[in-house]
Amino acid sequence: MKRSELVAYLDVYLGLESFEGLDRSLNGLVVGGPEKEVHNVAFAVDACQATFEKAIGEGADVLIVHHGLYWGTPLPITGTHHTRISTLLQGNLDLYVAHLPLDAHPVVGNNVVMAGKLGLQDIEPFAPYKGTTLGFKGVLKEGRDVRWIASQLGFESPVVLPFGKERIKTVGIVSGGASSDVYAALADGLDCFITGEVEHQIYHDAQEAGITVIGGGHYQTEIFGVQALSEHMRDTFDLAVCFIANPTGL
């Protein structure tokens, strides 16, 4: 398919327009030359040099990432940023970014996919953010413990604040750096809140309110969206796709 068709489809499917003014990330097609045919698409969490080189090595025409290059501040094209841009241009690799749209998406978003992997029932939007919601919450039909939840989501060394019930039934999920959304979980009376990073500032509130918090890692909680999107694009269009793993351990 033509790149313009790919970009137009993604812009609408991911609802980028709804996040204009809400997201610090520059989303959409961020680096792209003249129109071209797209056959191979790579997907990754982070836009970085190692990811670019791997994607080019895989023969990708376009790289789709969750964390892009621009976060509300213009960057001079010098130093490592110059190297990154040069690599993309020389490798004829276009870059497409979907940050908050890929957290909040109701089908391929990070949070709804995790909810599905846990088998949550009665799934509904959760955690308000600037007039929208980014997360999802639901109910475990059978109460589960922290170890089971972490295993289902592939969290190898999660940070756990074990202040809630031993058998967890109600769960709220917001991927990445969303510690403060524990207060939305508390307001909704949930047993457990899952996010990527757990900040010190929420420790005592979680302890005193009696909620379990699981931090699976910023990177690890945000592989789900790009992987689900890659499967969607593979199944919807005649495209070869690959996932570029570049875990940070954070």
- Name the binding residues: 66-67, 103, 218, 222
Going from the C-alpha of 5 to that of each of 45, 70, 237, the distances in angstroms are 23, 24, 11
Helix (H, G, I), strand (E, B), or coil: what is residue 233? helix
Q: Which of 38, 13, 27 is nearest to 228 (CA)?
A: 13
53/217 Cα distance (integer angstroms) = 24
Helix (H, G, I), strand (E, B), or coil: what is residue 89? helix
156/160 Cα distance (integer angstroms) = 12
211/52 Cα distance (integer angstroms) = 40
Q: Give the E-state strand segments of the chain in sequence order.
A: 28-31, 40-46, 62-67, 94-97, 121-129, 132-144, 159-162, 168-173, 192-195, 212-215, 240-243
211/56 Cα distance (integer angstroms) = 44
Binding site members for a divalent metal cation? 66-67, 103, 218, 222
Taking the CA atoms of 241, 71, 11 and 89 in sequence, report the sign of the dihedral they define.
negative
User: Is there a contact between 122 and 139 (Cβ–Cβ < 8 Å)?
Assistant: yes
